[in-house]
Structure 1
Amino acid sequence: MDTPGLGPISKREAEVLAVLGEHLTNAQIAHRLHISVRTVENHVSSLLRKLGAANRQALAAIAGPRPDAPSPGTVIGIPHGHTTFVGRRPDHDAVVTALADARLVSLMGPGGMGKTRLAAVVATAVAPAFPAGAAFVDLVPVRPGQVTVAVAQVLGVTERPPQTLDHTIVGWLKQGRFLLVLDNCEHVVDDVAALAAMVQQRCPNTTILATTRRRLAVPGEQVVRLGPLPIEPDAVRLFFDRARAVDAELDIDPQTAAAICRNLDGMPLAVEIAAARAASLGAEGLRAAAGDRLRLASGTRGVHPRHSSLSAVMSWSYDLLDTEAQAALRALSVFTGSFDLSAVAAATASTHDSAVADVIGRLADDSLVVRDGRFGRGRWRLLDTVRAFAAQRRDPAEHSRVRERYIAWAAQTAARLAAELGDDEQLDFAAVAADLRAAAASTAASPDPTAHRLAVSLATVTFAYGFNREAREHFTGAAQRAPDARQAGRDLCAAANVATAVYDGPAAFDLFLAAANRSRAAGLDNDAAAATASALITALRFPGEFPQRLTPEDGARLLATAMRDATQDDPRTAALIAAARAWNDGTGADEALELARALGDPLLLLGALDIAMTDPGRRAQVGEFVAERLRLVAELPRHDPAAATEITDTFHVATSHAVATGDLPAAASILETAAAQDPLAGHPYVTAPRRIRVAVLAGRFGEALAATEALWDEWQRDGAPTRRWMATAVAMAALAEGLRGTSHSHRWRERALRVAQTDDVTGSIELAACIAFVDARLAVHTGHTVDAGAMVKRAFASFKDETVVPHPAVGGHIWKSYARAAAAELAVFAGLPDAGELLTAASHHAADNRWAAACLARARGRLTGEPEHLASVAAQWDRIGARFERACTLMLIPEHRDEARTELEALGASSPAL
């Protein structure tokens, strides 16, 4: 590949470019191509330069569509017909024309007209015109409020809290020209209309084809009405095609076939059901049935108007079944989605596999049950009109029995899914999701063991599949259905753990207190104490998520309440109270760690280790604590909300510790492990700050800025939730822009203040230290030293609240080392009179931070000017993976400047002032 004016793309660069289209990390690309991460970085930098791309996303777009996107010409989720498509040519052409002219086309008509089949045929025909792909979403099993969930499941996207699922879908659909088919919209028309309006407004390249019995009534909607098939030739052709598929020797004249089709109003579904009986009834039976039982039932009492003519077809077909098949059909109508043989057995209370298979086979032969190939083999479903008809045939007593069996099946299935999470062989959640949700929603909000089991299991499964808000709702619903107050409190605590896992500390705090109140009212004092302590721990351990931090008075009050409630000797409650006391007033850390180790509870131990890391007297042990936490989380189940919190926090702390010690290779290794194990890996702004900080320090400015742009956009789109701990990552983007020589550095500095929710940089110890580092490092690079004295003074001053020991993961001492090392170098560079004294004052930081050590060594090299010393410093930078700093150091050695300029150009960075 040749790029005019920029040079050719090498074979290896082309390979890297192709893999970038899969949105892999540098480490993943290196593993795929069997090359080093540094080599990948070089190739990415070169590609950015040669192709004139702004960031990795732009390179991915050049590389081609994502692997999870449907290929042009294919439609994901489309139902594949097992029979020929007959007739409808004018209707087919009308829909195709409408899709070319409008972005929202509704294929509208009564039930049984073949809207779904026509939509599938049209979608297949026009799919090549949509380069980003096409998707077919069956809304039959979807209840109100779940339309976006159904769309997300077909597209293969999940929620990224606090980003809504709507935002995730919009981001997916904005990739290019895309066709979205929404089938059977009438029962969720309001939700579909809202989704269509949102997509039209925010996804200009997406076209929607909806099938519905009611207009969506959305501006821009173009309706194509679908009526009955013309009797001659289409309906008759359809009849013979289906009839001869079951009886190739069928002897019936076209006139009789036309009469049957005419009595059925030319409705395709009715014609197909009638034709399917050809093998059992023969020509004479069909003639007799057409003259008697297949009359149109328009106006029949007890039949919904939209089903009036189809009801006659259903009654005729239903009455031909034996008693066993009729009962099975009525039972199966309880399912909103597809079902397998085990589900059929549960719904029909059958204990014989052969009987279940036999009745399904007979119903399938009668076209009352159809195969569903969306989730593998061995699944069936009812057409929506058949389902509605069969459900009407259940009397109240039978309805109660069927619903009871249905809920029991759902509870058992959800429990099985929850138990199999993490196994290779497991039931596909998507195949049963609609029914599990429908069953859970149908249970009363009152104590019931089966309903409670269903809610808890479904909460566990939905959390594992990334539906976090839904999981929280199921856990709170479980509390309402719990058999006793103790279980209800545990369910509320589980809901709180879900909130904590997705960085919604305020919601977790409220849920823990709700659990405490519920337990206290029931006389469960220790449970109340544990929940209150957990609420306090949440507020103090993750304060960056709270719009208003807990006051010391509030903390003391909650701690006193927890200690007062703990009336019995319970080691776990004692460990939680000790942890709460440690977070609140700094006492109890040793007790919390000792009790956690004695209990052998990995979650308690992880929390206690987090406390121990804040102890200034244990600063030397922080590395050991980090390593122990990483070993512990490797064995935790990612689908457990309480475990997910500790996994995510452990990787956050481990990465931050590596940054605090200037060990960038260790930080990169931890990030690579987290990409595979962290439940929130890949989140645009929850986990992105870790990658941004490391990327800037390593000199991968393009990667860092692309990630920061995505972070900012998604955070803003989600309403700018409280995430103060992101501020330093945004500030590091200011450093990256400045080192690249752009004019955007000030913009990112201002945004960092907005994220920190302060107008004054000194209002946050973390941000104040980080900004001091950014200012000093940019001054050295650009040579703007007019304010050098003031910048150096800020970096060496005592930061606000420095007497309060910050957490090693987010505290200002991380950036204090960087700030003072960079400021000492600035003092030397600017020729400040006290430069030597400042070097000495900052020297102790070299023992704890490899980046600071290299920076201070370079500052001394500036004083001596010895090439050998500077070459040694360049090697120091190389060992910690700081390519940009290595190049800047080589620029100080005249004979290495050409090499350094080439490296800086590859990194997209400007040359430093000398």
Structure 2
Amino acid sequence: MTARPSGNLPVELTSFVGRRDDLTRARTLLGTARLLTLTGVGGVGKTRLALAVAASMRREFPDGVWTVELADLRQTGLLTQTLCGLFGVTSESSDAFGTLAEHLRTKKLLLVLDNCEHLIDACAEVVGRLLSVAPAVKILATSRQVLGVEGEQLFPVSPLTLGSPGGLGEAMQLFEERASAAQPDFRVTEDNRAAVEEICRRLEGLPLAIELAAANIRVFGPAEIAARLGDSAMMMSSERNRSARHRTLESVVDWSYQLCSPRERQVWEQLSVFAGGFTAETADGVCLPSETGAGVLRELIGLLDKSMIVRVDEDHELQGRYRLLEPMRQYALAKLESSSDATAVRMTPSRPFPTPGPDLGHRLLQSGRRRVVPAHPHRTREHPGGPGVQPRDWRRGRGGRDGAHPSPVLVAVGNPAGRIRVGEPRRRPACRADGRSGECAGHRQCPRLPRR
């Protein structure tokens, strides 16, 4: 009779939804690599995926699958002692790591290190030394930042899929399951499908955010939840056994913010003005330079390593494109608006505005300028109703001058009082083409402007 694998793998209290392909890929990678690091933004589901992978492979490790939660560990010097306690090894000697290494030298086990990001240097050192002295030990780590250890295999964890041909996408499945835990008869139907889909889309498929939103089904219907997503009170957990940093969406993002250097925080805030993504070139043109006058390439790499920004895979793009997930962008935008940099960023010149022409839309996409204020005939030089999109159509919501070359940032933060929250429609600016304030007949009748 086969001995039952040992370890301390916890029993999950809720179902594991979706990610079948991720589960298969992670298992395959861990079959050949000795260190697999699941990376991704906070709340994307790294821990749940790691535990699912570990549970599916536990019979391959006769000495067990062991997991240690590091989120509450604040002192880097206690990491080795924590691992010694996990395996029942005394840590009172002067060489605690040597004692630990001797214990693990002949073991064939899987060690799951959860939430390494705030102890990144200590984790990298201990992991590197363990792998060199214990050849049959494998390590599965979760971290918002790569460990940077030789032999490390990275696995970026993406948000849940939003759509599925002929059925519910992973994100909508998760919403249905978590909502039914609060209201047993809840199901996604034809009547509420559009609202649930909108919730999942606006929350970018982030599992934690979807779970927090779904819990509100006790009080509101899906359409009401979708309409209230901008209210922070809607994104709070009432589960008493949930960790403090996962009880609100803001606390998750704030944890990531604290992991960044002051300069990385500044660049992250300034990147929040890009609602539709950016390239390294456009980021360098809009973000304020450092005290040394250097660009932002180093900070972009750092933010990418920390999962603050994600790369957008578009095969037709000659340049790499990046973006902030919307909850991360809204958090950073609020920080920017309360900082002294807001006005300076607003006035930062970028590349000259492209020459108007029939292919302007295509060239805007290629240049990284993806957020265009809808053209209004009263804002063209062929007033009232000329066909061309003129430079003054690239506006910050109010103000602007003909012939100016504003950057994309002007569209996003030129009017802080009218900041666009997740899912909120953009406010129409007042038209001053006829020399008067307030809305003109053209504003009320023009189909090219968004309605209130």
Task: Name the TM-score, length of structure 1 as normaliser.
Answer: 0.26
Correspondence for 2:173 among 216, 223, 237: 237
TM-superposed CA distance for 1:72, in Å, is 5.0
Q: Distance in 2 between matches of 1:127 and 1:167?
A: 26
Label 1:149 to 1:84 Cα distance change in 2 as closer, same or farther (>3 A): same
Correspondence for 1:317 among 221, 226, 235: 235
Match of 1:207 in 2: 138
Label 1:284 to 1:254 Cα distance change in 2 as closer, same or farther (>3 A): closer
Correspondence for 2:241 among 370, 380, 388: 370
TM-superposed CA distance for 1:390, in Å, is 9.1
Q: Distance in 1 between matches of 2:92 and 2:67?
A: 23
Q: Is residue 257 of structure 1 aligned with residue 128 of structure 2?
A: no
- Judge conservation of contact 1:109–1:212 (CA < 8 Å) in 2: yes
Match of 2:424 in 1: none
Correspondence for 1:109 among 40, 52, 59: 40
Letter in 2 for 1:257: V
Match of 2:251 in 1: 389
TM-superposed CA distance for 1:79, in Å, is 3.4
**What does the per-residue CA deviation read over 1:171-212, in whole Å, with 9 as the maximum and x for residues that have no partner?**
221232111000000000111100111011100110000001
Q: Which has the larger radius of gyration?
A: 1
Match of 1:147 in 2: 79
TM-superposed CA distance for 1:137, in Å, is 0.6
Q: Distance in 1 between matches of 2:187 and 2:250?
A: 33
Q: Distance in 1 between matches of 2:211 and 2:103?
A: 38
Q: Is residue 281 of structure 1 aligned with residue 220 of structure 2?
A: yes
Q: Distance in 2 between matches of 1:79 and 1:180?
A: 13
Label 1:133 to 1:239 Cα distance change in 2 as closer, same or farther (>3 A): same
**What does the per-residue CA deviation read over 1:493-552, in whole Å, with 9 as the maximum and x for residues that have no partner?**
xxxxxxxxxxxxxxxxxxxxxxxxxxxxxxxxxxxxxxxxxxxxxxxxxxxxxxxxxxxx
**What does the per-residue CA deviation read over 1:561-591, in whole Å, with 9 as the maximum and x for residues that have no partner?**
xxxxxxxxxxxxxxxxxxxxxxxxxxxxxxx
Letter in 2 for 1:274: A
Q: Distance in 1 between matches of 2:29 and 2:105?
A: 22
Letter in 2 for 1:165: A
Q: Which has the higher contact order (CA 8 A, sep 6+)?
A: 2
- Judge conservation of contact 2:69–2:115 (CA < 8 Å) in 1: yes
Q: Distance in 2 between matches of 1:392 and 1:133?
A: 35
Letter in 1 for 2:244: L
- Judge conservation of contact 2:131–2:137 (CA < 8 Å) in 1: yes
Match of 2:280 in 1: none
Letter in 1 for 2:144: R
Q: Is residue 82 of structure 1 aligned with residue 13 of structure 2?
A: yes
Q: Secondary structure at the match of 1:146?
A: helix
More helix as a share of residues: 1
TM-superposed CA distance for 1:261, in Å, is 0.5
TM-superposed CA distance for 1:147, in Å, is 1.5
Label 1:392 to 1:139 Cα distance change in 2 as closer, same or farther (>3 A): closer
TM-superposed CA distance for 1:287, in Å, is 3.3
**What does the per-residue CA deviation read over 1:116-154, in whole Å, with 9 as the maximum and x for residues that have no partner?**
011111101101101111200101011122221222222
Correspondence for 1:188 among 104, 119, 130: 119
Q: Secondary structure at the match of 2:37?
A: strand
Q: Distance in 2 between matches of 1:121 and 1:244?
A: 22
Label 1:111 to 1:173 Cα distance change in 2 as closer, same or farther (>3 A): same
TM-superposed CA distance for 1:170, in Å, is 1.1
Q: Distance in 2 between matches of 1:385 and 1:264?
A: 16
- Judge conservation of contact 2:115–2:141 (CA < 8 Å) in 1: yes
**What does the per-residue CA deviation read over 1:238-283, in whole Å, with 9 as the maximum and x for residues that have no partner?**
0000001110233652222111001000000000111111112233
Q: Distance in 1 between matches of 2:245 and 2:81?
A: 21
**Alignment map for 1:422-433 (pairs within 5 Å):** none
- Judge conservation of contact 1:229–1:266 (CA < 8 Å) in 2: yes
Q: Is residue 156 of structure 1 aligned with residue 88 of structure 2?
A: yes
Letter in 2 for 1:214: Q
Q: Secondary structure at the match of 1:141?
A: coil
**What does the per-residue CA deviation read over 1:612-662, in whole Å, with 9 as the maximum and x for residues that have no partner?**
xxxxxxxxxxxxxxxxxxxxxxxxxxxxxxxxxxxxxxxxxxxxxxxxxxx
**Alignment map for 1:647-658 (pairs within 5 Å):** none
Q: Secondary structure at the match of 2:219?
A: helix
Q: Distance in 1 between matches of 2:175 and 2:118?
A: 29
Q: Distance in 2 between matches of 1:391 and 1:89?
A: 27
- Judge conservation of contact 2:124–2:149 (CA < 8 Å) in 1: yes
- Judge conservation of contact 1:370–1:383 (CA < 8 Å) in 2: no
Q: Distance in 2 between matches of 1:134 and 1:392?
A: 31
- Judge conservation of contact 1:112–1:385 (CA < 8 Å) in 2: no
- Judge conservation of contact 2:245–2:251 (CA < 8 Å) in 1: no
Match of 1:901 in 2: none
**What does the per-residue CA deviation read over 1:661-681, in whole Å, with 9 as the maximum and x for residues that have no partner?**
xxxxxxxxxxxxxxxxxxxxx
Q: Distance in 1 between matches of 2:233 and 2:7?
A: 35
Q: Distance in 2 between matches of 1:250 and 1:85?
A: 19
- Judge conservation of contact 2:85–2:91 (CA < 8 Å) in 1: no
Q: Secondary structure at the match of 2:228?
A: helix
Aligned length: 246
Q: Secondary structure at the match of 1:281?
A: coil
Label 1:247 to 1:173 Cα distance change in 2 as closer, same or farther (>3 A): same
- Judge conservation of contact 2:245–2:252 (CA < 8 Å) in 1: no
TM-superposed CA distance for 1:168, in Å, is 2.0
Match of 1:523 in 2: none
Letter in 2 for 1:370: N
Match of 1:417 in 2: none
Q: Distance in 1 between matches of 2:85 and 2:250?
A: 25
Label 1:178 to 1:264 Cα distance change in 2 as closer, same or farther (>3 A): same
Q: Secondary structure at the match of 1:370?
A: coil
**Is there any run of 5+ residues in structure 2 with no aligned partner, and where?**
164-168, 256-452
TM-superposed CA distance for 1:160, in Å, is 4.3
Q: Distance in 2 between matches of 1:386 and 1:170?
A: 39
- Judge conservation of contact 1:119–1:211 (CA < 8 Å) in 2: yes
Q: Is residue 170 of structure 1 aligned with residue 109 of structure 2?
A: no
Label 1:114 to 1:195 Cα distance change in 2 as closer, same or farther (>3 A): same
**What does the per-residue CA deviation read over 1:739-788, in whole Å, with 9 as the maximum and x for residues that have no partner?**
xxxxxxxxxxxxxxxxxxxxxxxxxxxxxxxxxxxxxxxxxxxxxxxxxx
Q: Distance in 2 between matches of 1:392 and 1:227?
A: 20
Q: Distance in 2 between matches of 1:127 and 1:287?
A: 40
Correspondence for 2:159 among 228, 233, 250: 228
Q: Distance in 2 between matches of 1:94 and 1:392?
A: 30
**Alignment map for 1:569-580 (pairs within 5 Å):** none
Label 1:72 to 1:179 Cα distance change in 2 as closer, same or farther (>3 A): farther
**Alignment map for 1:333-348 (pairs within 5 Å):** none
**What does the per-residue CA deviation read over 1:846-866, in whole Å, with 9 as the maximum and x for residues that have no partner?**
xxxxxxxxxxxxxxxxxxxxx
Correspondence for 1:246 among 168, 179, 182: 182
- Judge conservation of contact 1:72–1:129 (CA < 8 Å) in 2: no
- Judge conservation of contact 1:72–1:127 (CA < 8 Å) in 2: no
Letter in 1 for 2:141: A
Q: Secondary structure at the match of 1:75?
A: coil
**Is there any run of 5+ residues in structure 1 with no aligned partner, and where?**
1-64, 66-70, 294-313, 319-362, 372-380, 394-914
- Judge conservation of contact 1:138–1:184 (CA < 8 Å) in 2: yes
RMSD of the alignment, in Å?
2.7
Q: Secondary structure at the match of 1:210?
A: strand
Q: Distance in 2 between matches of 1:390 and 1:218?
A: 26
Aligned-residue sequence identity (percent) comes to 34
Label 1:72 to 1:209 Cα distance change in 2 as closer, same or farther (>3 A): farther
- Judge conservation of contact 1:114–1:268 (CA < 8 Å) in 2: yes
More strand as a share of residues: 2
**What does the per-residue CA deviation read over 1:878-907, in whole Å, with 9 as the maximum and x for residues that have no partner?**
xxxxxxxxxxxxxxxxxxxxxxxxxxxxxx
Q: Secondary structure at the match of 1:107?
A: strand
